[in-house]
Every structure is written in structure tokens, then in C-alpha cells.
Amino acid sequence: MRIALNARILQAPRTGIGHYVAELVNALAQEPDVDLALFHGWGWSSALPEAAMPGYSRLTPLLRQIPGAYQARRWLEQKRFDQRHSKSIDLYHEPSLWPLSFDGPTVITLHDLTHLHYPETQPAARLREIERRLADGVQQARLILTDSQCIADEAQDYFALPAERFVVAPLGVAARFHPRSDESIDKVLKTHGVDAREYFLCVGTLEPRKNLTLALRAHARLPEAMRQRFPLLIAGMAGWQREQFNDELRSALAAGHVCLLGYLPDEDLAQLLAGARALVFPSLYEGFGLPVLEAMASGTPVILTSASAMPEVAADAGNYIQPDDPDSLRDAMARLIEDPTHWQACRAAGLHRAKLFSWERCAKVTARAYRQAMGD
């Protein structure tokens, strides 16, 4: 099967969907009947690009200010994409929301329906594009991949589509996420001024949906001595409406109890995740929650909300909190400090749970969906 996969998102710094595309491409290489052609917006390649870091394009903010710039870029991408039709593409896979036009079988990956549940967490221009294009993209697709059953159920109800149009392909965990000795991560931890198992870690873009203000408020309610010994580290690039965090961040940063790390290289983040006391992941809504799986695979307990798809990932390995209750998060953090038996039980449960997920499995389910969409 000659599969065209839209990999344009890999031109940007890799967050959830970018990591999904990169890991899926690598895993699909092991499927003998899948031959991938990667479309990167302006042309084609057979190899993944290097991961971009924030600041990869100084033109992006400028383009957002130009009326019609998005539509013009989309038109150019469609023209470039159409040039490949003569190369015998059998199927087109769009891994991020709405697909380009294609006159053959199309598969899309629908990661979540954030724009329905939390429209206020999306920039207005992006929300308009989603509302304008997503329904058509869903109708164009012969099959719709989702990362979780939760999102499949939501999409079936919202788009009034039969269950057989959906295929659940749970995500996997990259090899870099595994338990590590204190000695092996000491250098990276010392760079950030922390010791193994003596800090909490948040991972996520600074945007409203990630609910990071809850983490700040909960950490601030820990006893002073506990905050000093177990600081809160936040890893992720600045995102939409990041200014909402300013007041609480200023106070926490000034006290030295919180450290904003910014966007980190993959290996640095993996080491920090393996050394944390716990991952704090208070997100309001997720289609899967990849950092939760990565933390569990690293031997790090997870604190998370029971919203959306996250219980499908953590199951009974998670420490669940209410997304609007800083006291419940504070108590969960304190217990993982004060109760070593509980901490060890959470670590063991997470490691066991993480073994159920793999990118190889995700690729096999995806390849099977390709065959089904083509009528094989």
C-alpha cells in the first residue's frame, strides 16, 4: 500500500500530535505492506525531519496578522499535494483534524473534541477554522482513528456516525521513557537544581486547557518546608493565553518554589520525568494524555483528573483529583511525599499498566485500518 501521510506538523516543535506522527511513522516502517510518502506542506520525503525547537519560524506570528494568510497557505499546500497523485497514492492519512482534498480513500485521526467542550481554550481564528473544516473532513474519511474509546464515543454522538466508522488505536510509549538510576540522570537534574525524587513535574504547553494554575495553587498550599524540599517544575513552551498564569507564577517564582523550564529536548524531558516524585497532570480534557503514559513507563507515579480519556490510560495506577479543587491535589502530592508504601505501589502499578501500550500495536491497528479503508 502506498500511503500519503501529512507530516507537516513535524515542521513545528513536537507536542502531542507531533510525537504521535513521528512515533507512528517509525513503527509503520515495520509493517511490510505499508510504503509511506510523507507530505511536509511544500513537498514530499521518505524520512522524518529533525525535531524543531521553539522559534523555528519567525514568520509564523507575522502570518497570523495577514488576512487570508491561512487560506492562501492551505491553497498552496493543496496544489503541492495534488502533484503526487501521479505517483500512485493508494490512501491518504491525515493525522491532525481536517484533511486535504483527495479523490481516493482517506483515513483521519481525530485526537479530541476540545473545541466543543472548551471553545474558550482555543484562539478565535483557530476555532473558526476547526468549525468550518472538521465536519467535512470527518465526512470525507472512510475510517476515523481515535486514540481512545472516549473520543470515539463522543465523535459518534456528535457527528451522528455509526460505530463501524471508528477505529480505536491507543498510543504507545517511546523507548526513551523507562526507569533510570539516580546516577544516570544526575547531570540533567543538577542543571535544574533538583535531586532525584525531590521535585514534582508538570508537562504541557502553557495554555488554559492544561489547567496548570491548579498545580500552582495546590503546590502553594503545601507546608513551607515541603515546598522548599519538593519544588514544582513546569516543562513546556508558552502557548495560548499564557498571560493568565502571570500573577501566580510571579509569586511562586519569586519564592523559589516553582521553576519554569520552557520547552526541553526530548532526552532531557525523559530524564526529568524518570526522576520526579510524581507527574502532576491536572488537564481539563485530553483525548489520551501521552505524558501520563510516559510517566508510568518511567516508574513515576501520576496525579491526574478523571476527565475525558485519561482513566483509559492510567486506570487504577492513577491518583485522581478534581480539576477545580486545589486541596485534593495538595493532599495527593503530600501523600506521595509522606507515604513511601503508597508511592511504591503507585510506581509498580504504573509500570505494569504502561506495558499494555506500544507504538507497534498502534501501528498494527493503523495498518489494519488502511487495509479496511481500501476494501481489502
Is the model's pLDDT at 59 over the cut of 60?
Answer: no
pTM tops 0.85: yes
**230-275 residue pLDDT tens:** 999 999 877 554 555 566 777 777 777 899 999 999 999 999 999 9
Confidence of residue 66 (pLDDT cuts 50, 70, 90): low
The verdict on 208 and 307 lying in the same domain is yes
The verdict on 238 and 307 lying in the same domain is yes
The verdict on 59 and 188 lying in the same domain is no
The CATH number given to whatever domain includes residue 48 is 3.40.50.2000
SS3 368: helix
- In total, how many domains does the chain have? 2
User: C-alpha cell of 42?
Assistant: 511544500
User: C-alpha cell of 50?
Assistant: 529533525
Domain assignment of residue 320, given as a range: 182-354
Is the model's pLDDT at 45 over the cut of 60?
Answer: yes
CB 144 within 8 Å of CB 166: yes
User: What confidence score (pLDDT) does residue 124 get?
Assistant: 77
In 3D, which of 169, 147, 154 has the Cα closest to residue 117?
A: 154
User: C-alpha cell of 357?
Assistant: 501500550
Is the model's pLDDT at 278 over the cut of 80?
Answer: yes
Residue 200's beta-bridge partner residues? 232, 278
The verdict on 151 and 229 lying in the same domain is no
Residue 130: alpha-carbon gap to chain centroid: 18
Amino acid of residue 248: E
135: left (phi over 0), alpha (psi -120 to 50) or beta: alpha
Is the model's pLDDT at 64 over the cut of 60?
Answer: no
Is the model's pLDDT at 287 over the cut of 50?
Answer: yes
Cα 117-119-120 angle, rounded to 5 deg = 120
**314-366 residue pLDDT tens:** 999 999 999 999 999 999 999 999 999 999 999 999 999 999 999 999 999 99
CB 192 within 8 Å of CB 259: yes
The verdict on 303 and 207 lying in the same domain is yes
Is residue 204 domain-resident? yes
User: What confidence score (pLDDT) does residue 252 get?
Assistant: 77
User: What confidence score (pLDDT) does residue 108 get?
Assistant: 97
**Per-residue pLDDT averaged across 105-121, rounded?**
90
**Per-residue pLDDT averaged across 155-170, rounded?**
97
Can you tell me the distance from the alpha carbon of 121 to that of 207, in angstroms, rounded to the nearest whole number?
Answer: 7
Is residue 191 domain-resident? yes
The verdict on 279 and 303 lying in the same domain is yes
User: What confidence score (pLDDT) does residue 376 get?
Assistant: 61
**Mean pLDDT value across the chain:** 90
The verdict on 57 and 86 lying in the same domain is yes
Question: Cα-Cα-Cα-Cα dihedral of 36, 39, 40, 42, to 10°?
Answer: 150
Is residue 167 domain-resident? yes
User: What confidence score (pLDDT) does residue 56 get?
Assistant: 46
Share of the chain above pLDDT 90, in %: 69
Is residue 95 domain-resident? yes
User: What confidence score (pLDDT) does residue 85 get?
Assistant: 59
> Comparing 241 with 34, which gets the higher pLDDT?
34
Is residue 198 domain-resident? yes
Is residue 177 domain-resident? no
The verdict on 237 and 112 lying in the same domain is no
**213-222 residue pLDDT tens:** 999 999 999 9
The verdict on 201 and 349 lying in the same domain is yes
In 3D, which of 21, 4, 9 has the Cα closest to residue 104?
A: 4
What is the DSSP-derived secondary structure letter of residue 234? E
The verdict on 91 and 27 lying in the same domain is yes
The verdict on 253 and 329 lying in the same domain is yes
Exposed (0-12), middle (13-18) or buried (19+): which is 168, by Cβ within 10 Å? Answer: middle
Is residue 316 domain-resident? yes
Is residue 187 domain-resident? yes
> Comparing 10 with 327, which gets the higher pLDDT?
327
Is the model's pLDDT at 171 over the cut of 50?
Answer: yes
User: What confidence score (pLDDT) does residue 132 get?
Assistant: 81
**Per-residue pLDDT averaged across 134-159, rounded?**
95
**Per-residue pLDDT averaged across 160-167, rounded?**
97
The verdict on 310 and 213 lying in the same domain is yes
